[in-house]
RNA sequence: GCCGAAGUGGCGGAAUAGGCAGACGCGCUGGUCUCAAAAACCAGUGGGGGUGACUCCAUGCCGGUUCGACCCCGGCCUUCGGCACCA
């Protein structure tokens, strides 16, 4: 063993050994409890960043810890490898997206191996590999078969820069999530997944996810956005048509003073064509369509509207109310038409004030009257119903049910539950994605590609040009085919799937990644799933996690799975920051893992990212802190080196121990306890590491002691190295070897706490007077409350403090403190 | 606007069930070793006052509960994150 800690040599040595011995290979084994640890798989950008290092280090500690505790651990890694950057690279550097992607994967795989993460590399998957996307396509057809995939013309979010459609979820503040270009609306025929069929169950089952952060569950709840209300019809005066509106405030129906349609509402032209307002309406509607969605729907935007000249009838009281068109009504939600109740809705109030529409009070605060002429804002709080014929005098909230019943009984409308969640648009007009396996036949129409013909391979003879349409659109070898039903001419769908489809099931594929005739082996999937611990950034709180839950539930319903939630426990790790903001190229505050690994080694890099902050919090990068972690590993190295020769013999029996040795034993076992609890119960790796540091400090103190009890030292040192091994796997493997072991430390059992070693004969107890610390006394651990009180009161310091004062009460907590209350 | 999280030394953070605030690390100060430096090791390190034993103040602010509050309750302030005209 060398005297100096040569991290480079050690890390290379064991990485080669692990590559050869495969100590992290896994296979289903019903006789052992399983544990599936998973980090969100990365997009292969080519370079690992600190966020990856942190994410994978966290999961690796968990995986290694569970393995040492005797679990059969599955810890796989793969690549979310379809997507736009590869195509952009193709255009920019004239390199095929596949080539670019596979090179990136190769280089990132190398970097991950340099981190010493305990992956079972035999299970690696890449979503862009035909062996994988064949099954993404198969799943698409499976969903199609079960009526969960459909095609429709839709006003979609179009990114002109990417020349593709984006899901609502990929439009952030009105701009493209990837390239920050303004997104437009465009009408196109698009494929959708019917996730709205699962809205209710996706919402309900959030309650089952006790291992998920509330924050994420709340975000999903808001995204699904369930609301309960009533839909009812307003008869248009002088016409046959009715306007159907949706409301959750049916308690205010008697206060309706107008009805508003969304500009896109089909009744708009029916109502206005051939009338005086026709051209004004057309102009207004045109103006609204020209606006992008954020400025159209922002609360900041001023409400604008136009009277159609038509009227409709409130079914409950027969009142005639004007029909308007306004920018603040959305066609996509509810019925695209709403009733305006200015007295009890903020938006309606603002609108009514602007256009001088009547304000009619129908809810008044208890025991008070509301005057519509003096109101300065809508009254939205609970109250008593007024001017509402049969319901006058009722409290509005409890009356909701009665009113809904009344509406249903009279045939005015019915109860309705709405969700904000929309169906998932998966069509992308791009090349580098899984082709949608559908055909269009002149005779048979829309035809799914037969399973035997999968995968629909991406053609290689394509050209990539900037700003152009998808290269698939111009590839005749790809498009032209024959219809499997009639044998006639057919053309292929040229859209590919949103990459979120590929990432909605990869965690299932890891259970049987090599399965060639099935999407996955049921036996394996049902053994390994659900994922016991999933770790990733909170930016996936909605999209990826919701889609994955949807896929899992649907596949359960199709009979392929025996469970309906994919991730039992979720940890959302914080960002890696420097100078207060997230490390990013644009901010110029990036530190590359390569650089840190080169300078200090992977063990130091891992240790620092785990030590600097608890995992769910943002981590502030600090190079001096990294040096501290490096110093610590050197300190451990020298300590073990100091004792290695003496301890190699191995066998020691702990006999008589003096006070110093007893202390070291106690610290050893306290450390086992703290590290175990910090890892398993709380994922607080920062405090686990500080506990290990304290053990090292205690060993150094003991080292200076004149009499050395090698049995106790042996226990302390071996424990130290084992406890350190999940965090810093290379150095601990080397140190383990230097202690005379010829098997891997990573196959060792996690150490057990000797409760007897924790016991102490004496303990320090705090003495407070009126809650203020006044003295510390050392007393026998088992001293009872009464004896402790007597002892505290007799202390000279305490006596001094009590002079001239009257003791009113004494609180005595054995082993902890005595509080003397005086006057 | 609504929902959620967080505010503790010079910095990252700790206090696991209401019981010693500041573990551990970084930084800083002084020292040992050295021709010198680096490394390493030792000591100190929340703020104020006192020669000193000591003492007062201190976990964003104000109040409450309690023998005792970083922790529980009420009200504010600030920062961050999510949603945002969803009827």
ipTM of the complex: 0.95
Share of chain A above pLDDT 90, in %: 73
Residue A682: which nucleotide is closest by CA–C1'? B16
**Distance of A590 CA from B47 C1′ (whole Å):** 36
Residue A290, pLDDT above cutoff 70 = no
Q: Which residues contact A539 (CB under 8 A, 6 or more apart)?
A: none
Closest CA to A529 of A34, A118, A121, A123: A34
Q: What's the average model confidence in pLDDT over A425-438? A: 94
Mean pLDDT of the A267-279 span: 92
Evaluate if residue A537 carries a pLDDT over 80: yes
In the predicted model, what is the mean pLDDT of residues A573-579? 90
Which range (A257-261, A377-381, A712-716, A751-755) has the least confidence? A377-381
pLDDT, position A764:
87
Residue A364 bridge partners (DSSP):
A384
pLDDT band at A31 (very low <50, low <70, confident <90, very high): very high
- By C1' distance from the Cα of A703, the closest nucleotide is B41
Name the residue closest to the C1' of B13 by its CA.
A613
DSSP string of A282-295?
Answer: HHHHHHHHHS-HHH
Query: pLDDT > 70: what percent of chain A?
Result: 98
Nucleotide nearest to A817 (CA to C1'): B19
Protein residue minimizing CA–C1' distance to B66: A771
Nucleotide nearest to A421 (CA to C1'): B86
- β-pairing, A258-261 vs A337-340, is antiparallel
The yes-or-no verdict on residue A467 having pLDDT over 70 is no
Between CA A612 and C1' B77 the distance (Å) reads 29
Long-range pairs of A797-806 with CB within 8 A, sequence gap ≥ 24? A797/A767, A798/A767, A798/A769, A798/A774, A801/A769, A801/A774, A802/A769
Mean pLDDT of A332-348: 94
Least confident of A143-147, A363-367, A482-486, A735-739: A363-367
Asked if the model's pLDDT at residue A138 lies above 70, the reply is yes
Q: What is the distance in angstroms measured between the alpha-carbon CA of A281 and the sugar C1' of B86?
A: 24
Q: Token pair of A663, please? A: 């202390």
The nucleotide closest to A303 (CA, C1' atoms): B85
Strand B bases, protein C-beta under 7 A: 3-5, 11-16, 19-21, 23-27, 39-42, 55-56, 67-69, 81-87
CA A296 to chain centre: 29
Q: Give the pair of three-digit tokens for residue A587.
A: 């901010």
Nucleotide nearest to A304 (CA to C1'): B85
Contacts of A791 (CB under 8 A, 6+ apart): A777, A779, A783
Whether A86 has a pLDDT exceeding 70, the answer reads yes
Strands (E) across A281-372 are located at 305-313, 320-326, 337-340, 363-364
Distance A819 CA to B67 C1' (A): 7
Distance A634 CA to B17 C1' (A): 38
**For the purposes of burial, counting CB atoms within 10 Å of the CB of A304, is it exposed (0-12), middle (13-18) or buried (19 or more)?**
middle
Calculate the CA dihedral of residues A282, A288, A291, A294 and round it to 10 degrees.
-170
A811 nearest nt, CA–C1': B67
Per-residue pLDDT at A773? 87
**CA A692 → C1' B40, Å?**
20
Q: Specify which residue's alpha carbon is closest to the C1' of nucleotide B12.
A: A612
The two structure tokens encoding residue A722:
């084992």
Nucleotide nearest to A678 (CA to C1'): B16
Average pLDDT, chain A: 92
Q: Which residue is nearest to nucleotide B41 (CA to C1')?
A: A700
Which is it for the CA torsion A147, A152, A155, A161, positive or negative? Answer: positive
Distance in angstroms: CA A5, C1' B44: 30
Measured CA A705 to C1' B11 distance, in angstroms: 35
Cβ-based burial of A2 (10 A; exposed 0-12, middle 13-18, buried ≥19)? exposed
* Nearest residue (CA) to C1' of B3: A218
Instruction: Enter the tokens of residue A440.
Output: 């269009």
For residues A172-211, b (16+ Cβ closer than 10 Å) or e, as one string? eebbbbbeeeebbbeeeebbbbbbbbbbeebbeebeebee
Local confidence band at A1 (pLDDT 50, 70, 90 cut-offs): very low
d(CA A651, CA A451): 63
Q: Which residue's CA lies closest to nucleotide B20 at its C1' atom?
A: A766
Q: Which nucleotide is nearest to A638 (CA to C1')?
A: B40
Q: From the CA of A621 to the C1' of B12: give the distance in Å.
A: 9
Q: Give distance CA A709 / C1' B46 (Å).
A: 39
Q: Give the nearest nucleotide to A810, CA to C1'.
A: B67
pLDDT tens figures, A580-621: 788 888 778 889 999 999 999 999 999 999 999 999 999 999
Whether the per-residue pLDDT at A66 is higher than 50: the answer is yes
Rounded CA–C1' distance between A219 and B2, in angstroms = 13
Distance in Å from B76's C1' to A333's CA comes to 38
């Amino acid at each position: 063993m060398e005297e100096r800690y040569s991290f480079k040599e050690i890390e290379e040595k064991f990485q080669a050994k692990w590559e050869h011995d495969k100590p992290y290979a896994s296979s289903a084994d019903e006789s052992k409890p399983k544990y599936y640890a998973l980090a969100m798989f990365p997009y292969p950008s080519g370079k690992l960043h600190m966020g990856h290092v942190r994410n994978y280090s966290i999961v690796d500690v968990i995986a290694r810890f569970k393995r040492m505790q005797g679990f059969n651990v599955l810890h796989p890694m793969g690549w979310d490898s379809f997507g736009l950057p590869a195509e952009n690279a193709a255009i920019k550097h004239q390199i095929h997206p596949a080539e670019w992607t596979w090179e990136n994967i190769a280089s990132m795989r190398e970097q991950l191996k340099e981190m010493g993460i305990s992956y079972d590399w035999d299970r690696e998957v890449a979503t862009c590999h035909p062996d994988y996307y064949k099954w993404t396509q198969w799943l698409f057809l499976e969903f199609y078969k079960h009526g969960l995939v459909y095609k429709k013309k839709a006003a979609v979010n179009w990114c002109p820069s990417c020349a593709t459609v984006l899901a609502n979820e990929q439009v952030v503040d009105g701009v493209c999530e990837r390239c920050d270009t303004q997104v437009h609306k465009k009408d196109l025929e698009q494929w959708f997944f019917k996730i709205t069929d699962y809205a209710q169950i996706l919402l309900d089952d959030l309650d089952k996810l006790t291992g998920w952060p509330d924050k994420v569950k709340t975000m999903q709840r808001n995204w699904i956005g369930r609301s309960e209300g009533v839909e009812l019809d307003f008869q248009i005066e002088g016409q046959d048509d009715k306007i159907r509106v949706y409301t959750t405030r049916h308690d205010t129906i008697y206060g309706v003073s107008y009805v508003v349609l969304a500009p896109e509402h089909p009744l708009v032209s029916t109502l206005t064509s051939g009338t005086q307002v026709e051209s004004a309406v057309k102009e207004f509607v045109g103006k609204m369509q020209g606006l992008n969605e954020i400025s159209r729907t922002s609360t900041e935007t001023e409400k604008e509207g136009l009277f159609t000249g038509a009227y409709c009838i409130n079914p409950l009281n027969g009142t005639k109310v004007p029909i308007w068109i306004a920018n603040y009504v959305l066609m996509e939600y509810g019925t695209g038409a709403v009733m305006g109740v200015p007295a009890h809705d903020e938006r309606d109030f603002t609108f009514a004030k602007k256009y001088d529409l009547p304000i009619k009070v129908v809810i008044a605060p208890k025991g008070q009257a509301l005057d519509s002429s003096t109101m300065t804002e809508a009254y939205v709080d609970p109250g008593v119903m007024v001017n509402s014929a049969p319901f006058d005098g009722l409290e509005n909230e409890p009356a909701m049910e009665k009113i809904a019943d009344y509406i249903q009984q009279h045939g005015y409308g019915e109860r309705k539950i709405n969700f904000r969640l929309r169906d998932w648009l998966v069509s992308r007009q791009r090349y580098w994605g899984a082709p949608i396996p559908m055909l269009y036949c002149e005779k048979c129409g829309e035809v799914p590609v037969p399973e035997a013909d999968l995968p629909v391979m991406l053609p290689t003879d394509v050209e990539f040009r900037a700003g152009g349409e998808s290269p698939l659109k111009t590839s005749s070898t790809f498009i032209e085919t024959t219809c499997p039903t009639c044998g006639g001419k057919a053309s292929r769908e040229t859209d590919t799937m949103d990459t979120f489809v590929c990432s909605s099931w990869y965690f299932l594929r890891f259970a049987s990644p090599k399965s060639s005739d099935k999407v996955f082996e049921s036996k394996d999937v049902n053994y390994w799933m659900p994922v016991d611990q999933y770790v990733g950034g909170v930016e996936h709180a909605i999209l990826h996690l919701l889609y994955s839950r949807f896929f899992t539930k649907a596949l359960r319903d199709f009979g392929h799975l025996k469970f309906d939630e994919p991730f039992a426990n979720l940890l959302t790790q914080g960002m890696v920051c420097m100078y207060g903001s997230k490390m990013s190229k644009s901010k110029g505050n990036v530190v590359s893992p390569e650089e840190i690994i080169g300078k200090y080694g992977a063990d130091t890099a891992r240790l620092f990212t785990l030590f600097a902050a608890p995992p769910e919090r943002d981590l502030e990068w600090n190079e001096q802190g990294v040096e501290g972690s490096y110093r610590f590993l050197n300190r451990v190295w020298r300590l073990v080196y100091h004792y290695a020769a003496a301890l190699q013999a191995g066998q020691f029996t702990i006999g008589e121990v003096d006070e110093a040795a007893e202390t070291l034993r106690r610290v050893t076992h306290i450390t086992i306890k703290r590290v175990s609890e910090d890892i398993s119960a709380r994922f607080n790796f920062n405090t686990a590491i500080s506990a290990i540091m304290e053990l090292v400090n205690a060993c150094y103190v003991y080292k200076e002691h004149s009499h050395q009890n090698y049995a106790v030292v042996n226990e302390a040192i071996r424990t130290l190295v084992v406890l350190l091994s999940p965090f810093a796997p290379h150095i601990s493997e080397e140190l383990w070897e230097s202690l005379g072991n010829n098997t891997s430390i990573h196959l060792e059992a996690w150490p057990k706490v000797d409760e007897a070693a924790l016991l102490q004969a004496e303990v320090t107890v705090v003495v407070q007077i009126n809650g203020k610390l006044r003295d510390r006394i050392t007393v026998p651990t088992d001293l009872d409350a009464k004896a402790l009180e007597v002892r505290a009161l007799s202390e000279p310091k305490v006596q001094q403090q009590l002079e001239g004062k009257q003791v009113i009460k004494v609180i005595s907590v054995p082993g902890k403190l005595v509080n003397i209350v005086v006057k």
